[in-house]
Amino acid sequence: MAPYASIQSAKIMATTKPNLPPSLTPLTTQILLQSTLPSFKLNFQDSRKQPPKHDKITFDETKQIHAHLLKTHFQNPHEIHPIFQLHSTAAARYNFLITSYNKNNQPKAALNIYAQMRGMDIETDDFIVSSVLKSCAQIGWVLLGREIHGFALKYGLDFDVFVGNTLIQMYSECSFFGSARLIFDKMIKRDVVSWNTMIRGYIKHRMIDEALRMVEEMQYTSVKPSESTMISIINLLADVSNKKVTKIMLAYVIKNSYMNHLGANLTTSLINMHAKSGNIAVARSLFDRLAEKSIYSYTAMVAGYIHCNALEEGVKLFGQMLEDGVLPNEVTLLSLIAECGAVEALDLGKQLHAYVLRNGFAMTLPLATSLVDMYGKCCEISSARAIFDTMERRDIMTWTALISAYTRGNCIGEAFDLLVLMRENGVRPNQVTMVSLISCCAESGALDMGKWIHAFMDKQGIEKDTVLDTALIDLYAKCGDITTSYALFNEAMNRDICMWNCMIMGFGMHGFGEEALELFTEMERSHIGPNDITFIALLNACSHAGMVTEGKRVFENMKNKYDLSPKIEHYGCMVDLLGRAGLLHEAYDVIQSMPMKPNTIVWGALLAACKIHKNPKLGVLAAIKLLEIDPDSCGHNVLVSNFYATENRWKDVVSVRKEMRNRGMKKEPGFSCIEVNGSVHEFTTGIQAHPRFVEIDDMLDQMIYKLKASGYEPDTSVVLLNIKEKEKEQSLKYHSEKIAMAFGLISTAPGTPIRIVKNLRVCDDCHTATKLLSKIYNRKIVVRDRNRFHHFSKGSCSCGDYW
C-alpha cells in the first residue's frame, strides 16, 4: 500500500467496513476494564454541586465510569457522574469516554470504545470522528486513521472544519505530510487552527522551509494568528536553533501583534527562541524592554546565557534577579540545571546543586532526576550515581538518566547491569531507555549486545515507535548488518523523514550508492519531502561509491527541483565527492564558487584528497587555509602534519608538531574496538597492557608470516614518521586494527565473522593486509572506520579499493 492516502483512495475505503485491529473488540474492552477496576469507590458527592470539568477526570475515574456504563447498558448515566447531565445522547456519552481516555494518554482504550460503538451501530458524529482521529495520531496508527477518513468522506463529515483539522493533525503526526497538505488544500473553510496544525507539524519534523512557506501563505490570506498560536509556533521554533528563522519570526510577531505591542508572555517566548538560536544580544534587548520582569522572563534569559555558553553573564543576571527580589522556584532551577547538562557546564551545575542544598529546596523527584542527568551529561558518572543511590523514590526518567550517563561514558557493562537492576525493582523500561542503550551499542559496534536488547524489547513487549524503529535501523547499519537494517526499515509501518534519512545514510556508509539513490526515488514516490540531511546522506553515498555524475545531479536537483539552498555541509560533500575521484581542480572550483566563506570541513576535504592524489600545490594551499581558520584544532594540525609527511617535508612536519606542543595539543590516539562474547575490547596503536597480549603478539607474528608467504609487502609510506625502514615495518605490525583482528582470531571459532570499529581512516597497508587475511583465514571481516564500512571477504573488499 502506498504510504499516503489520497482523497480518492479514502473514498474507495469508505465503501467497506473498517478493518479494525483484533484487539479492538467489545469483549476484550469489557474484560480489560473490569479486571483493572479500582478497588476504591469514587466519591462524587461534592462534585454534584458543581459538575467537574472534563479534563479533571482521572484515568481511574474514567475506567470506573466506563465499567459501570457497560454493566448498566448506559441506563441513567447521570446517576453515575454529574458530568453526564451534559451528555444526553449515547454518541455524546461515548465521545466523553473516548476524549477522556485520550486526555489520560490512553489512546488504545479510546479506540476500543470506538470499536464497541461500531459493533453496536451507534450513530457516529463529527465529534467522535475527531476524537478517534486524535487517538490514531497519538499512537501513529495511520491505517486506521485512513479508514476513519474514508468513513468521514462517506457520511459527508469531512466538510466540518473540526474534522478537517483533526485529519491534518493525524496525518502530520504520522509523518504523512502529503496527505495532510492535500486535506488542507481541499478544505472549503479553514480557521486559524487549520494553519497552526500544519505549521506545527512541519516544525515538529524540522521541515522549517515548508513551515515558513505556510506562515507566508497565512499572511497572504489575511488570517491573523492569535497570541497563543504565535507562542505555540515560537516555542516549537526555539528547539530548531536557526538564526535566520528567528529574525523572520520576530518580524512576523511584531506585524501581527496589537499596536505592535508585545505582551509579557509573547516576549518571554521570543527571548527563549532567540537565546536558543544563539541570538543572545537580541534576546537581551527584548528582556531589557520588559517593564516588569517575572520569574519566567528571568529564567528564560539566564537559561539562554547558559545555552550560549556565556556562563559569566548568566551568573551575573542570576545575582541581579536575587537582588531584585525575584526568587527562583523549582522550574527555574530545573531549566538552568538542564542547560548546564546540555553545554557540559559542570562547575556551574555544581554551584546550582549547592544552591539547592543551601536554600532548603526539597529534593523532589524531578529535581534529583535533573541533577542525575546533568552530572551524567558532564561525564561525572560517580556524582550521578551518588545522587541516584540516595533517592528514596525513582521513576522511569531517573533510571533512564543514569543508564544514559553510563552509555555516554561508554560504560556498556554498567548500563546493562543497571537495566537488570531496574527490572528487579519493578520498573519497566520505556522507548527512551531502549534508544539510549541501542545508540550506545551502535556507536561502539556492539552487535551482539544490540541484538540482545532487540530481543529483550520483544520479550518485554516494549512497543516500538518511529524513534525506536529508527534507532534499531541505525544500530544494525552501524554494526555492519545492513541486510537486517533494511529488513527492519521495510517492516516499519510509519516512516518519517528521519527514518528514510537513516536508511539512506546506512546504504551510503556501506558503499551502496545505487541502493541509496533507489531508496530516495522510492521516498519521492511516497511524497516524503527531503530535507537538508537527506541530501547530505545522498551526496555521501555517491562519494563513497565514486558516483560523480550521479552526485552532481543530486546537487543540482536539490537546488532546482526542491528549491533547497545548499548549506556549507553540502558544499563540503561536493568537494569530498570530486576530491575522492581525483577531480581536484573541479573541487577547488566548487570552493571558489561557494556563496559563503569555506570552513574547515571544506578545506579539510580538499587537503585529504590532495594527500591521496599527490597534489602538493593545492594541498599546501588547503593546509594554509585550514590553519588560518582554526589554528587551535588538534585534528586539523595532525591532518596538515600528515600531508607534509607524505610529501617528505619533514621540516614542516617538525614545525607543525612543535607548534602543537607549544599550544598543549595532544594527537587523538588511533584505537579499534572489537566485541567478543558480549564484551567490547578496545585496542590502541602500539604494544598493549592487555591480559592476553602475549597470545595476541604470537598471532600477529603468525599473521605477518602468512601475509608475506602470500606475497604481501608492507607499505611503509603510510608511516608518517622520519624513522628507519625496519622501524616502520614494526610500527605497521602494531596498528590497532591488526591487534583487534589478532584478538578476534584467537578468541572466536573458525569461520566466525570478525567486526571491528576504528576511530580513524583505515590506512592503505591495513586495508591490503586485511583483504589477504580474509582469504588466508577464511573469515568475513567487517571494519567500520571514520568514513565508511569495509566488508572483506575472500581477498577483496566491498569498497573496491575506493575509500
- Each domain of the chain, given as residue ranges in start order, spans 499-565, 570-668, 671-797
| pLDDT for res 258 | 61
- Cα separation values, 81 from 46, 47, 54, 93, 569, Å: 11, 9, 11, 11, 60
Helix axes 396-408, 365-377, angle to 10 degrees: 10
Q: Between 74 and 369, name the one with better pLDDT.
A: 369
Confidence of residue 8 (pLDDT cuts 50, 70, 90): very low
DSSP label at residue 520:
H
SS (H, E, C) 83-149: HHHHCCCHHHHHHHHHHHHHHCCCHHHHHHHHHHHHHCCCCCCHHHHHHHHHHHHHHCCHHHHHHHH
Confidence of residue 720 (pLDDT cuts 50, 70, 90): low
Q: Are 436 and 453 in contact (CB under 8 A)?
A: no
Q: What is the tens place of the pLDDT at every residue in 728-750?
A: 888 889 999 999 999 999 999 99
Confidence of residue 99 (pLDDT cuts 50, 70, 90): confident
Residue 218 pLDDT > 50: yes
773: phi then psi, degrees, rounded to nearest 5: -65, -35
- Percentages helix, strand, coil for the chain (3-state, rounded to 5) are 65, 5, 30
Q: Between 209 and 114, name the one with better pLDDT.
A: 114
Residue 52 pLDDT > 60: no
| pLDDT for res 212 | 76
The dihedral built from the CA positions of residue 413, 415, 418 and 423, taken in this order, carries a sign that is negative
Dist. CA 756–CA 747, nearest whole Å: 14
| pLDDT for res 88 | 58
| pLDDT for res 645 | 78
| pLDDT for res 83 | 53
Dist. CA 507–CA 485, nearest whole Å: 10
Q: What is the tens place of the pLDDT at every residue in 453-472?
A: 999 898 888 888 888 999 99
Q: Which of 25, 27, 142 is nearest to 465 (CA)?
A: 142
Confidence of residue 760 (pLDDT cuts 50, 70, 90): confident
What is the average per-residue pLDDT within 520-539? Answer: 91
| pLDDT for res 555 | 95
Confidence of residue 208 (pLDDT cuts 50, 70, 90): confident
| pLDDT for res 17 | 37
Dist. CA 468–CA 458, nearest whole Å: 12
Dist. CA 459–CA 428, nearest whole Å: 12
| pLDDT for res 41 | 39
What is the average per-residue pLDDT within 377-392? Answer: 94
The reported pTM is: 0.69
What is the average per-residue pLDDT within 687-712? Answer: 92
Q: Is 73 left (phi over 0), alpha (psi -120 to 50) or beta?
A: left
Residue 216 pLDDT > 50: yes
| pLDDT for res 276 | 86
**What CATH class is the domain 570-668?**
mainly alpha
| pLDDT for res 106 | 82
Residue 564 pLDDT > 90: no
What is the average per-residue pLDDT within 138-155? Answer: 85
Contacts of 606 (CB under 8 A, 6+ apart): 575, 579, 584, 587, 588, 591, 618, 622
Q: What is the tens place of the pLDDT at every residue in 221-268?
A: 777 777 777 787 787 777 766 667 777 777 777 777 765 567 788 889
| pLDDT for res 114 | 83
Q: Are 794 and 781 in contact (CB under 8 A)?
A: no
Q: What is the tens place of the pLDDT at every residue in 576-629?
A: 999 999 999 999 999 999 999 999 889 988 988 888 888 888 888 888 888 888
SS (H, E, C) 409-470: CCCHHHHHHHHHHHHHCCCCCCHHHHHHHHHHHHHHCCHHHHHHHHHHHHHHCCCCCHHHHH
* Exposure string for 102-137, b = 16+ CB within 10 A, e = fewer: bbbebbbbbbbbbbbbbeeebebbbbbbbbbbbbbb
Query: Above pLDDT 70, what percent of the chain?
Result: 88
| pLDDT for res 389 | 94
Contacts of 262 (CB under 8 A, 6+ apart): 253, 254, 270, 286
Dist. CA 798–CA 64, nearest whole Å: 61
Dist. CA 95–CA 456, nearest whole Å: 37
Q: What is the tens place of the pLDDT at every residue in 285-321?
A: 999 988 889 999 999 999 999 999 999 999 999 999 9
Q: What is the tens place of the pLDDT at every residue in 395-447?
A: 999 999 999 999 888 888 888 889 989 989 988 888 889 998 999 899 888 89
| pLDDT for res 478 | 93
Query: Residue 783 belongs to what H/E stretch?
Result: strand 781-784
| pLDDT for res 463 | 80
Confidence of residue 664 (pLDDT cuts 50, 70, 90): confident
Paired strand residues for 792: 781, 797
Confidence of residue 45 (pLDDT cuts 50, 70, 90): very low
What is the average pLDDT score of the chain?
Answer: 83
Q: Residue 623 corresponds to which cell in the numbers above?
A: 593546509
677: phi then psi, degrees, rounded to nearest 5: 55, 40
| pLDDT for res 15 | 35
| pLDDT for res 363 | 93
| pLDDT for res 79 | 52
Residue 338 pLDDT > 80: yes
What is the average per-residue pLDDT within 264-273? Answer: 88
Q: Between 724 and 698, name the one with better pLDDT.
A: 698
Confidence of residue 332 (pLDDT cuts 50, 70, 90): very high
DSSP label at residue 613:
T
Kindly report which listed range (17-26, 218-227, 373-382, 476-485) carries the lowest average pLDDT score.
17-26
Q: Between 251 and 190, name the one with better pLDDT.
A: 190
